[in-house]
Each structure stands twice: as C-alpha cells, then as structure tokens.
Amino acid sequence: MLEVTNCPTCVAVCRTPGQDAEGLPQLRAFQNTDAQQKIEQLKKSLHYLQETLHKEQATAKAKILSLEAELSKQAKTAWRRLRQVAVSIQNQAIRACTIL
C-alpha cells in the first residue's frame, strides 16, 4: 500500500517512497501521471468487474431456465401419475360396487 503524508514545506499530499540516508522520509509530490495511472488501473478493475458481473448474470439466467424446465417436467410427471392413481382408484371403486 502506498504511504502518503503531508509535506512540511508546501502542505501538499506527498508519497513517501522510502527514506534518505538519515532515516528521514523522502517525500515526492503526486504528479499528474500518478493520478492518470491510478485512473487507468481503476478503469481496468471496473471493466474486469463488469465482465465478471455479466458472466455471472448469464450463468444465473441459464441455471434459472434449466431449473424452470426441470420443474415443469416434474410437474407434468406428477400430474400424469396423479391421474393414473385417480383412474386406478375409480376402477377399484367400480369393481367394488359391481361385486356388492
């Protein structure tokens, strides 16, 4: 992490890249190129995060569609089975009535 401090001479925010021979911090004022580099770094990070977000959204949508299709399939199977059971019960009831 970049260490910063206020310059005792001009009170500007400066970087402290190291120390001099006497152990005092070396101060270096931020320059326009520093800000531009940071902006470019942030743009790259933002672009990467946007790409990641879009990929995650696409993956989530695909998974939702897959789950919805599976749920629909299972619902149809359950209704089909329920109708079979109802017909079976109805047939058993008819047979029971004819026996009596």
Same domain, yes or no: 41 and 75: yes
For residues 4 and 15, the answer to whether their CB atoms sit within 8 Å is yes
Same domain, yes or no: 26 and 69: no
Same domain, yes or no: 41 and 83: yes
Higher-pLDDT residue of 21 and 89 is 89
Same domain, yes or no: 54 and 95: yes
Same domain, yes or no: 77 and 94: yes
- The number of domains in the chain is 2
Range of the domain at 19: 1-30
Distance CA 32, CA 41 (A): 14
Residue 54's pLDDT is 97
Same domain, yes or no: 45 and 25: no
* pLDDT tens digits, 14-72: 666 666 666 665 555 556 677 788 889 999 999 999 999 999 999 999 999 999 999 99
